[in-house]
Structure 1
Amino acid sequence: MTLQQLKYMIEVVNCGSINEAAKRLYITQPSLSSAVKELEAEIGVELFIRTSKGITLSVDGAEFLGYARQVVEQAGLLEQRYLNKKPSRQLCSISTQHYAFAVNAFVNLIKNSGADEYEFTLRETRTHEIIEDVKNLRSEIGILYRNSFNRKVLDKLLRENRLDFHPLFTAQPHIFISTQNPLAGRKAVTLADLEDYPCLSFEQGEFNSFYYSEEILSTVFHKKSIHVSDRATLFNLLIGLNGYTISTGIVSADLNGDNITAVPLQVDESIQVGWIANHQIRLSNQASAYLQELRSVLEEYGLQLQE
Structure 2
Amino acid sequence: MNITQIRYVLETAASSSMREAATKLFVSQPALSTSIGDLETELGILIFERTNKGISLTDEGREFVAYAKKALAQYEILEDRFLSRDSDKERFSVSSQHYNFAIKAFTDVIKAFDPDKYVFAIHETKTRDVLEDVRTMKSEIGIISFSGSNESIIKKLFKEYNLEFTPLMQRETYAYVWENHKFAGRKEISLEELSDYPCVSFDQSDDSNFYLTEEAMADYDFKKMIKSDDRATTMEIIERLQGYSVGCGMLSEDDAVLRGMVSIKLKEEDPLVIGYIVRKGSVMSVYGKAYIEELMKYKEL
Distance in 1 (alpha carbons) for counterparts of 2:237 and 2:107: 25
Structure 1 residues not aligned, in runs of 5+: 1-16, 18-50, 58-64, 70-87, 299-303
Q: CA deviation at 1:203?
A: 0.9
Mapping for residues 109-188 of structure 1, pairs under 5 Å: 109-188=109-188
Report if aligned partners of 1:90, 1:286 keep a CA contact under 8 Å in 2: no
Q: What is the CA deviation profile of residues 239-288 of structure 1, one whole-angstrom value per residue up to 9, with x for unaligned ones?
A: 22222111111111112354111111111321100111101202211122
How far 1:294 sits from its partner (Å)? 3.1
CA distance in 2, matches of 1:281, 1:231: 32
Contact kept, 8 Å, 2:172 with 2:270, in 1: the verdict is yes
- What's the CA shift for 1:205? 3.3
Q: Compute the displacement of 1:55 (Å).
A: 4.2
Contact kept in structure 1, 2:96 and 2:124, CA below 8 Å:
yes
Question: In structure 2, do the counterparts of structure 1 residues 177 and 113 end up closer, same or farther at CA, with 3 Å as the change threshold?
Answer: farther
Q: CA deviation at 1:197?
A: 1.4
2:186 and 2:296 map into 1 onto residues whose CA distance is 30
Which residue of structure 1 aligns with residue 291 of structure 2? 290
SS at match of 2:189: coil
- Tell me, which stretches of 5 or more residues in structure 2 are unaligned? 1-6, 8-66, 82-87
Which letter maps to 1:246?
A: V
- For 1:112 and 1:52, the matched residues in 2 are separated by 38
Q: CA shift at 1:180, angstroms?
A: 1.0
Give the alignment of 1:4-153 within 5 angstroms: 54-55=71-72, 89-153=89-153
Tell me, yes or no, if structure 1 residue 197 matches structure 2 residue 192.
Answer: no
- 8 Å Cα contact 1:101/1:250 also seen in 2: no
User: Any idea what SS the aligned residue of 2:237 has?
Assistant: helix
Q: After superposition, what is the alpha-carbon deviation per residue over 1:189-246, rounded to whole angstroms, capped at 9, x for unaligned? A: 1111110111111111321312101211122222321111122222222222222111
**Local SS of the residue matching 2:148:** coil
Alpha carbons of structure 1 residues 248 and 289: separation in structure 2 relative to 1, 3 Å: same
Q: 1:146 to 1:206 in 2, by over 3 A?
A: same
Matched-pair contact (CA < 8 Å) for 2:92–2:287: yes
What is the rounded CA distance, in whole Å, between the counterparts of 2:68 and 2:129 in structure 1?
Answer: 20
What is the count of residue pairs matched by the alignment?
Answer: 224
Change (3 A) 1:148 1:115: same
Measured after TM superposition, the shift of residue 52 of structure 1 is: 5.4
State the identity %.
Answer: 33
Q: Residues 52 and 219 (structure 1 numbering): CA distance in 2 closer, same or farther, change over 3 Å?
A: closer
